[in-house]
Structure 1
């Protein structure tokens, strides 16, 4: 997984959250709750390692609607994924790499970065795919150069939209009730 090559996909979105970096980190690292904020991930469970620790693997359950890049042969309906935590610095960053069907990490990394921002935190959600994953290779296998370019453009827009939607939903979850104890109160 090299950062020196131009990535196939790279996207990021950010939002201010009225909570401390530690409070934000505690929520975004709880991948089992991701169904509360993700447009596709319904949640899941940790299958190996301590939840949220580097090297731990998360089994996610996902669902995609029929209208997502509807002309391309992407997975629709329900499917599952495995992802391995590759960075976990409390209050700062949390990243996971998607596994292929053989259980190997792919150059497809999702993550969150958090930094103090006034009375709260700046939460950044980012995605980077260096080389084509097993899934992208399969989707684009029968496409000519023009169709591949169209797919990459539309898929990139979809990912960017998903990142922004995820952040908006996380903000609501955290500011409403970060740990089941009522609204966040910062600066008190």
Structure 2
């Protein structure tokens, strides 16, 4: 794994299908993520491959929106999306583990994203990439802990 990829896992005392229903409902992401404030599906869309949604993020210094497309929607197994048509890939995978479910959240800054950041931020692109990388690495464990609390009824 490179510095531009990260994943972390947590064991959740919940059925994989029930847990999948939570993580594939992007409208709930604002409840769990330290940076994402809200997500909403395009009119008529839902958690199926090819569906689009918008996310609103806030890092304390600025607020911005992203456009994402679902790239994996395999109930009880995997839910994933790409931001800006392939700049970043986020996802959740689920695996049975000792009577529970291992929930893994993953993040990868893709080559198109590196190129896109250089086009968007110019000389400040590398600084922005470091900021986004740090946010993902710090945010994933927080998000997983919050999803676990929700799934386990806490």
1:8 touches 1:129 (CA, 8 Å); kept in 2? no
> Aligned runs of 1:95-106 on 2, under 5 Å?
95-99=80-84, 105-106=85-86
Deviation per residue, 1:14-63 (Å, 9 max, x gap): 10000011011000000001111011111221105531000000111221
Partner of 1:39: 34
Aligned residue among 17, 25, 47 for 2:20: 25
| Counterpart secondary structure, 1:136 | helix
Q: How many residues align?
A: 152
Q: Which secondary structure does the structure 2 equivalent of 1:106 belong to?
A: coil
- TM-score with structure 2 length normalisation? 0.87
**Contact 1:12/1:126 (8 A) holds in 2:** yes
> Partner of 1:13: helix, strand, or coil?
strand
| RMSD over equivalenced CA pairs, Å | 2.3
CA contact (8 A) 1:8 1:130 kept: no
Instruction: Work out which of the residue numbers 39, 44, 67 in structure 2 matches 1:82.
Output: 67
Assess if the C-alpha contact under 8 Å between 1:49 and 1:57 holds in 2.
Answer: no
Q: Secondary structure at the match of 1:176?
A: coil
Distance 1:171 1:162 in 2: 14
Gaps of 5+ in 2: none
Q: TM-score when scaled to structure 1?
A: 0.73
C-alpha deviation, 1:135, in angstroms: 5.7
Structure with higher Rg: it is 1
